Structure 1
Amino acid sequence: MAGPNILLTRIDNRLVHGQVGVTWVGSLGANLLLVANDAAATDPIQQNLMDMVVAEGVQTRYFTLQKTIDVIHKAASHQKILLVCKTPQDVLILIKGGVPVSAVNVGNMHFAEGKRQIHKTVSVDDADVDAFRELAARHVICEIRRVPDESGELISKLL
């Protein structure tokens, strides 16, 4: 049996917003938006707010990281999945758990105390850098790209 049909894995600390719920979904032809995030999985208010910006006809799922690991391989072949995580550490947990991710789109990682800006929309701390380096060691391509028609930039060149 083939693995899950993950069209794109995206890191965005905002999780789902217009760029993700409409622009990326439409560009990819995704019909399932899967948010793998422990906090969002248990917050129906946040889920409802995110659902408001998702294109019509696209299903959403809000799973913890562990549930994503447990059920992703049960995805139906017709499900075209856009997988969204909040941090590179979350993506690494999924990969270590067997979720097949070969490339990551880095959309937005806000600046905060202890972080340094490496790109217009991406700021990292040492834990983020370590996670990106481990992803690279696992041959996962991590590319900063806010929107589909923008050219990507490898994050490894910015660390």
Structure 2
Amino acid sequence: MSTPNILMTRIDNRLVHGQVGVTWTNTLGANLVLVANDAAAADPVQQNLMDMVVAEGVQTRYFTLEKTIDVIRKAADRQKIFIVCKTPQDVLTLVKGGVPINFVNVGNMHFAEGKRQIHKTVSVNDSDTAAFRELERLGITCEVRRVPDESGESIAKLLA
């Protein structure tokens, strides 16, 4: 089994929207957007909405976390994969399942009850913080960067 060509993994609680579907996909040169999310994998309506905002010629897959772990190493070399997850916990699940992720781009994590804001677009609770710390401990760089031309900010520093 070969190592899949994962260009980037992004955390975005909206999953795929215009910025992700076009701007990031084009910048990365991705030809496959893989949404690794249990709820989205079971929701064809949500999938159709996301398909509409993905750049022309880019394929989409909507897999559960488990299926992503099971099939990612079967990816062909020509598949330039952009993984999109909803939470740092989901990314950690993929990593622990053997998905070779070494960098995480953090886009949007909305503010909600019990969360603290650490960046304009990123709010975390204790569980999020623990997941980010574990990812960093595993040698995975996590940085907040909403759009490609913005400079990234380290999650580790923002959490400190």
Q: Could you say which residue in structure 2 is the equivalent of 1:71?
A: 71
Q: CA deviation at 1:38?
A: 0.1
Describe the SS at the equivalent of 1:104. strand
Q: In structure 2, what is the Cα distance between the partners aligned to 1:64 and 1:147?
A: 26
Q: Could you say which residue in structure 1 is the equivalent of 2:118?
A: 118
Report if aligned partners of 2:2, 2:74 keep a CA contact under 8 Å in 1: no
User: Equivalences for 1:10-159 in 2 at 5 Å?
Assistant: 10-159=10-159
Describe the SS at the equivalent of 2:148. coil
Q: CA deviation at 1:61?
A: 0.1
Q: In structure 2, what is the Cα distance between the partners aligned to 1:80 and 1:121?
A: 27
- What TM-score do the two structures reach when normalised by structure 1? 0.99
Q: In structure 2, what is the Cα distance between the partners aligned to 1:69 and 1:93?
A: 9
Identity among equivalent pairs (%): 79
Off by >3 Å, runs of 4+ in structure 1? none
Q: CA deviation at 1:118?
A: 0.3
Q: In structure 2, what is the Cα distance between the partners aligned to 1:143 and 1:73?
A: 25
Number of aligned residue pairs: give it.
159
Describe the SS at the equivalent of 1:149. coil
Q: In structure 1, what is the Cα distance between the partners aligned to 2:7 and 2:103?
A: 10
Q: In structure 1, what is the Cα distance between the partners aligned to 2:105 and 2:87?
A: 11
5+ residue gaps, structure 1, are none
Q: In structure 1, what is the Cα distance between the partners aligned to 2:85 and 2:10?
A: 6
Describe the SS at the equivalent of 1:158. helix
Q: CA deviation at 1:2?
A: 3.4
Q: In structure 1, what is the Cα distance between the partners aligned to 2:148 and 2:19?
A: 9
- What TM-score do the two structures reach when normalised by structure 2? 0.98
- Residue 75 of structure 1 aligns with an amino acid whose one-letter code is A
User: Equivalences for 1:1-16 in 2 at 5 Å?
Assistant: 2-16=2-16
Q: In structure 2, what is the Cα distance between the partners aligned to 1:12 and 1:41?
A: 16
Q: CA deviation at 1:25?
A: 0.3
